Amino acid sequence: MSASAIPTPAKRRRTRGPLAKYLNRNRRAISALAIFAVLLIIFTMANPRIFTNPITYRAIFLSLPISLFVVVPLVFIVASGEIDLSFPATAGITSWVFSAAVQSGWEPVAALIPALLLGVVVGLVVGGLVTYVGLSSLVATLGMNFLMRGIINMGTQGVAIQFPQMRTTALWQAFAGRIEGFPVINGFPVHMLWGLGFVALGWMLFNRHRLGIRVQIVGDNPDSAAEMGITVARVKIGAFVFLGIGAALSGVLSVLVNQNWWPTTGDGLLLPALAAVFVGGTPTWGGIGTVVGSSIGAFIIAFIETGIIGAGLTGYVTQFFNGLVIILSLIGHRFNGRRYR
């Protein structure tokens, strides 16, 4: 056999079929989907009555979109080589502005505008501290988280805001209502559709828009990105602003779903959202990310507690299984994605 007849690695890559290319390109998301499928099978075998009941899924879908609105932009942050720990307080302070405006007599649709604008401002401030002041994103966002939570506590003195009339508003009907007669799951939460739509938007921005491409280039090598003419600071600030908007939507959605606002709104988002990003296959070193995989990671985290309780175990073991699933998922992604880097 002549040397030219021996297939080189480059020739083998060119001769791959469309299916092989698709699987290789989406291997992280597919791995996350496989993990979710295995968990779902285990939970169903442990308690078929609960996990074949549509009411179980409807209950999970009530709160899952609140996480999706922060998980998607977090992929942009991590892929850019940064981290953000301030988004729980951003969700809290923006939803406070929304709630205070509604309590003052604003229409909920109008009250949504200052909440989103505040999310943009927080993103600009955090991004500026990281890029122009030169602070570590870990330290800067941790400080901002405490700062904004302190503002909330000082401004409210721990007093909640109740909205018993929220169900009668057009905003609640459009963003937090129920779809009666929905196939399989009657009373399907409409905000689950909004959450999936946000995932689709994030996927398009990350994979088909120059913002996502530049985020990945900056996260991989900021010096090379600057040599290519990319404004590194602008790209990173754009990612932080996107997370600020997502956190605002998450906080407002939490108010709509629960029909009240508490000073602790958003506090429970931090660990589940970060876990979803990493379980879904977005690595910590930057330059790589998967919006779909991280969204599936949010499904995994959301189903774990329900599955544990449904299996007859107590809630005391939830954190153990959360940690176990996260570690095993990261190990799997580490070996599955070695060729990516």
| pLDDT computed for residue 122 by the predictor | 97
Q: Which residues touch 180 (CB under 8 Å, ≥6 apart)?
A: 186, 187
| DSSP category for residue 180 | T
127 confidence band (pLDDT: 50, 70, 90): very high
Domain extent, residue 119, equals 32-340
Q: Is residue 102 part of a domain?
A: yes
Q: Is residue 15 part of a domain?
A: no
**Smallest Cα–Cα separation from 300: which of 120, 54, 118, 35?**
35
CATH number for the domain that contains residue 301 = 1.10.3470
State how far the Cα of 260 lies from the Cα of 162, in Å rounded to an integer.
4
Classify residue 202: in a domain, yes or no.
Answer: yes
CB contact at 8 A, 93 and 255: no
- One-character DSSP codes across 142-154: HHHHHHHHHHHHH
Percent of the chain with pLDDT over 70: 93
In a domain, 21, yes or no: no
Among 307, 313, 315, smallest CA distance to 38 is for 307
Whether 267 contacts 79, CB under 8 Å: no
pTM tops 0.85: yes
3 within some domain: no
Confidence bin at 333 (pLDDT 50/70/90) = low
What CA–CA distance (Å, rounded) separates 158 from 156? 5
Note the pLDDT tens digit of each residue in 157-171.
Answer: 889 999 888 888 889
Tens of pLDDT, residues 59-105:
899 999 999 999 999 999 999 999 999 999 999 999 999 999 999 99
Is residue 341 pLDDT above 50, yes or no? no
Q: Does residue 223 lie in a domain region?
A: yes
DSSP 8-state assignment for residue 41: H
Q: Which of 169, 155, 143, 140 is nearest to 97 (CA)?
A: 155
Q: What is the dihedral of CA 301, 302, 308, 312, to 10 degrees?
A: 180
How many domains is the chain partitioned into structurally? 1
CA distance 41 to 312: 16
| Residue 292 pLDDT grade (very low, low, confident, very high; cuts 50, 70, 90) | very high
In a domain, 16, yes or no: no
User: Using one digit for the tens of pLDDT, what is the confidence trace for 223-243?
Assistant: 999 999 999 999 999 999 999
Q: Is residue 2 part of a domain?
A: no
pLDDT of residue 135: 94
Q: How many residues does the chain have?
A: 341
Residues 318 and 263: their CA atoms lie apart, in Å, by: 25
| Alpha-carbon distance values, 135 to 96, 125, 126, 132 (Å) | 27, 12, 10, 8
